[in-house]
Structure 1
Amino acid sequence: MTPHQTSKASPGRSITLLSVGHACVDVYQGAVASLVPFFVSERAYTYAAASGIVLAASLMSSVVQPLFGALTDKWAMPWLLPVSTMVSGAGVALAGVGGSYALTLVAVAVSGIGIAAYHPQAARVARNASRGSHTAMGWFSLGGNLGFAVAPLMVSPVIATGGLPASPLLIVPAVAGVALCSAALRGVKAPAAVTAAARASRAIGGDDWASFVKLSGAIVCRSIVFVGLSAFISLYASRRTGAGDFSGTAALFVLYLGGAVGTVAGGKLATRHGRIPVVQWSYALTILAVAGVVFVPGPLLYVFVALTSAGLYVPFSLHITLGQDYLPQRVATASGVTLGLAVSAGGIVSPLIGAVADATSLQTALAPLIALPALGWLLLRTLNEPDMLHSATGQPPPSPQPDPAADATTRP
C-alpha cells in the first residue's frame, strides 16, 4: 500500500499551511534590512553600524542552521516550529524598542536564531508532508521567498507611521505563523507502515557526503551571484539604461519576481525531467544570462535579468530535496546547510564586490559573477540522482517518505 493510500492527511492542505507559515518566518529575514534606513535616519547610525545589524541577523540565521539541523536529526522536536516562529518575530519586534545599539544587535541576533531553528525542522516536516513531491517542496520554498520579498511592504508603513517605537506591531506575522505551524503539525501524520518502510530504507541507504559537498559548492556559487546582483542590480540598471532610479527598481523587481515563478516551475520540471538535469540546465542558462546582464545595454538588459532570475530560482527547492536525499541519515542537517550555511556565502562576498566596484567600476566588479554558475555547473555535472546511486550498488533507492522519527517529528 502506498503512502498516498495509507495517510488520511491532506498533503495539499499541509503544504499550504507550511508554505504560508514559512512566509511568516522569512518575512523577518527581509525585515531587518528594511529597518536599516530607519535606524540611520532616527538613530543616526553610520552605514558601518547599520551593516553590523544586518550581519548579526544573517550570521545567526544562516551559520547556526546546521547546528539545529544536527540537533533535530538526533531528537524529534516538532515544538520547535511554533516556538522558533515566535522567537524570530519577537526579536524584530523588539529591535526598535529603546536606543541601545548593543540591545538592538541582541534583538536581531535572537531573531536570526529563531529563523535558524525553524528551517531544518520545517524542511523535514515539509518533506514528510510532500510525500516525495518536488512540486510540493517547490510550494514550500515559494512561501519563504514571498515572505522575504514582502518584508518592505510590512515594515515601511508601520515604521514610517509610528517610528521605531512602533516595531512591536511587527510581531503580527509571527502570531499568525504560530497558528499555521500548529495546524500543519496536526495535519501531518506518518502511518506506521510508512514509517517502517522509511526506517528500512534509511537503514540500507548511507550518506553520500561527496555528492552533498559538490551540491553545497554549487549552492554557494548560486548564492554569491544572487546576493551580488541583489545588492547592485538597481544601481547598475539605472546606469546601463539611462532611465533613472525607476529603471533600477524595475530591474530589482524582475530579479525577485523569479522567486514566485521559478521555484514552483522547478518542482514541475523536475517531476517530468528529473532533478539533476533541471538543476544542470538552470546553471548553464545562468552563465549566459549573467553575461547578458553585465554586457548588454539598454532595455534588453531586463530580458537577461529575467533569464537570470529563472536560472537562479528554478533549482532552489531542488537543492533542498537533493541535499536531503544525499544525506538520508541526516535530513535536517542537509536542510540546514542547503537553506542556511551555503546560502550565507553570498552575504560574505558581497562587500568584496562593492570594494572592487569602488576601485574600478561596477561592470568590472560584476563580471566575475559570470564564472560562478559555470563553476557550479562543473560541480553538478558529475552528480547522479540519489536513487540512481543506490540502484548502481544493487540496493533499493532511499524512500522519499518520512524518516524514522516521523511520528514524533510531526506530532506536537
Structure 2
Amino acid sequence: MQLSSTERFDAKPTIYPILFLISLVHLFNDSMQAVIPAIFPILKNSMHLTYTQIGWIGFAINFTASLLQPVFGWYTDKRPFPYMLPIGMASTCLGMFCLAFAPSYMFVLLAVVLVGIGSAIFHPESSRVSYLAAGNRRGLAQSIFQVGGNTGQALAPLMTYLIFIPLGQRGALWFTLVAGTALVIQLFIARWYQGYLRAHPRPANQEQAAAQTSGIKKALLFAMILLIFLIFVRSWYHAGISTYYQFYLMERYHISLEHAQIYIFLFLLAGAAGTFFGGPLADRFGMKRIIYFSMLGSAPLALLLPYVNASWAYVILLMNGFIVLSSFSVTVVYAQQLFPGKIGMVSGLTVGFAFGMGAVGSVGLGKMIDMAGLSSVMHWIGFLPLLGVLTYFLPDDQKVKEWNQREKQTA
C-alpha cells in the first residue's frame, strides 16, 4: 500500500528519550500537586478544618492549576516559549516550600496557588512537547506522557503514609528537592524544544488555513464542548473518590488513616495503568469506544461501591480506577485531532479547564457532605458515570480523521 503525499510528508520518528523524560517530569509535577490532597487529613486535624475548608483548598489547587492551562496554552500557541517549562517548575518549588511552613489556613491557600500556577504552565507546554516528539504514534506518546502524571497522583496515599503521618506538614519540604530535580530536566527538554522550533518553523498560512475550514466550525465546537463536559463528569467522580472516600472508609469501617490510604493508592495506581493502556486500546478499537467504555463501563461498579464490605472495596476500586481513567489520554488525543493547529489550547482545555470544573465539583461535594452527611454523598456520586451515555453524540473516529485531514490539506 502506497502512502499519500500528505502521509509521506507527515512521517516523523518518535523521540522516545524526550517522551520518557517529559513523562518523568510529569510524575514529579503531579506527585507534588498530589501532596495537597495527601496532606488533607493532617491539615484537618492540626488546623481544625471543616470539610468545606478542605474543599476550598482542593478548589484552590485544582482551579488555579486547571483554569489557567488553556490561557497559557493559547498564548504559547501564538508565541512558543520553551523556557516557560523551568519557570513553571520554579513556582512549584516555591509553593512546596511555603506549604511546609504555612502557619495558617490562608497561607496554605497561597502556597497551593503557587503550586497550581506551576502546574498550569507545565501541562499545556509539556503536552505540546509530547505531540512534537510523538512522530506518527500520538496515541502511544500521549499515554507515555499521561501515565507519568497519573502515577504521580497515585503516590499521594503512600506519601501520607510514609512522609506526612510521621513528619507532619513539614514533610512537604522534601518535595522542594523533587522540584529541583524536575527543573534541571526541564532545562534539557526546553533546549530540545527550542531546537525543534528552529528546525520546524511554523507555517505562515496556519491562521488562514483555520479560517478556510470554518464550514465545520460548529460541529468542532459542539464536539469540544461535549468532550469537556464528559471530562468534567469523570473528574468530579474521580475527585470524590480520591479526596473523600478515605473519610468514608474511616467512618463506615472504623479503619485507621494509614489503612485507608491503601485503598486510595490502589484506585489511583489502577488509574495510572488505565491511562497507559487506554491509548493503545483506542488505536485498536477507536477513541469514541474507549470513552464510552470509560464512562458507562464504570457506572455499575460506581453504584455498587458504597454497599460492599471492606474486602470487596479493594476489588471494585482496582477495577474502577482502571476503567475510569482508561480514557484519560484518549480524550486529549481526540481533542488534538479536532484542532491540530491549537495543541496548547486544546491540551489546556482537556487536561486543565475540565479538571478546574471538577474542582468546583470538589468544593460542592465538601459542602454537600457538611450538609447531608458523608454517606449520602458517597452514594450519590455513584450516579455520575451514567452521564457517559452522552458519548453517543460525539463524532465517530472516522469523521474526526476526515476533518483532521481536511485541515492538513488546506494548510
Q: In 2 relative to 1, CA 161–87 (structure 1 residues): closer, same or farther, beyond 3 Å?
A: same
The answer to whether residue 75 in structure 2 is matched with residue 71 in structure 1 is: yes
Give aligned-pair identity as a percent.
Answer: 24
- 1:178-235 deviation line (CA, Å, top 9, x unaligned): 2222333444536968966995986765551110000001111111111112233334
Residue 335 of structure 1: aligned partner: 347
User: Which letter does structure 2 place at the counterpart of 1:396?
Assistant: Q
Matched pairs, number: 394
Tell me which moved more, 143-152 or 111-120.
143-152
d(CA) in 1 for partners of 2:57, 2:368: 23
Residue 381 of structure 1: aligned partner: 392
Residue 408 of structure 1: aligned partner: none
Q: Give the alignment partner of residue 269 of structure 2, picking from 235, 257, 281.
A: 257
d(CA) in 1 for partners of 2:45, 2:307: 36
Q: In 2 relative to 1, CA 63–20 (structure 1 residues): closer, same or farther, beyond 3 Å?
A: same
The answer to whether residue 230 in structure 2 is matched with residue 227 in structure 1 is: no
d(CA) in 2 for partners of 1:85, 1:289: 37
Residue 14 of structure 1: aligned partner: 18
- 1:35-58 deviation line (CA, Å, top 9, x unaligned): 44555566x453466654443322
d(CA) in 1 for partners of 2:262, 2:250: 9
Residue 410 of structure 1: aligned partner: none
| SS class of match (1:328) | coil
Shift of 1:273: 1.1
Shift of 1:301: 3.4
d(CA) in 1 for partners of 2:166, 2:251: 32
Q: In 2 relative to 1, CA 78–3 (structure 1 residues): closer, same or farther, beyond 3 Å?
A: farther
User: Which letter does structure 2 place at the counterpart of 1:287?
Assistant: A
Shift of 1:354: 4.5
**Contact 1:387–1:397 under 8 Å retained in 2:** no
TM-score when scaled to structure 2?
0.82
Shift of 1:313: 0.8
User: Which letter does structure 2 place at the counterpart of 1:67?
Assistant: V
Q: In 2 relative to 1, CA 41–367 (structure 1 residues): closer, same or farther, beyond 3 Å?
A: closer
After superposition, residues 282-361 of structure 1 pair within 5 angstroms as 282-297=294-309, 299-357=311-369, 360=372
d(CA) in 2 for partners of 1:147, 1:3: 36
TM-score when scaled to structure 1?
0.82
Residue 175 of structure 2: aligned partner: 170
**Contact 2:157–2:264 under 8 Å retained in 1:** no
Shift of 1:276: 1.0
Q: Give the alignment partner of residue 124 of structure 1, picking from 114, 128, 133.
A: 128
| SS class of match (1:135) | helix
d(CA) in 1 for partners of 2:240, 2:94: 29
- 1:321-345 deviation line (CA, Å, top 9, x unaligned): 1122222332211111211121123
| SS class of match (2:123) | helix
**Contact 1:19–1:140 under 8 Å retained in 2:** yes
d(CA) in 1 for partners of 2:317, 2:382: 13
Shift of 1:291: 1.6
Residue 138 of structure 1: aligned partner: 143
- Unpaired segments of 5 or more residues in structure 2? 1-6
| SS class of match (2:34) | helix
The answer to whether residue 89 in structure 2 is matched with residue 89 in structure 1 is: no
User: Which letter does structure 1 place at the counterpart of 2:90?
Assistant: M
| SS class of match (2:82) | coil
Residue 46 of structure 1: aligned partner: 49
- 1:154-181 deviation line (CA, Å, top 9, x unaligned): 5776666776567544211112112222
Tell me which moved more, 45-54 or 121-130.
45-54
After superposition, residues 155-234 of structure 1 pair within 5 angstroms as 167-187=172-192, 189=196, 208-234=220-246
Residue 396 of structure 1: aligned partner: 405
**Contact 1:201–1:396 under 8 Å retained in 2:** no
User: Which letter does structure 2 place at the counterpart of 1:108?
Assistant: V
- 1:283-340 deviation line (CA, Å, top 9, x unaligned): 1101112122134446333332222212211001111111222223322111112111
Coordinate RMSD, CA, aligned: 3.5
Shift of 1:5: 5.9
**Contact 2:56–2:363 under 8 Å retained in 1:** no
Q: In 2 relative to 1, CA 356–110 (structure 1 residues): closer, same or farther, beyond 3 Å?
A: closer
- Unpaired segments of 5 or more residues in structure 1? 405-412
d(CA) in 2 for partners of 1:85, 1:232: 28
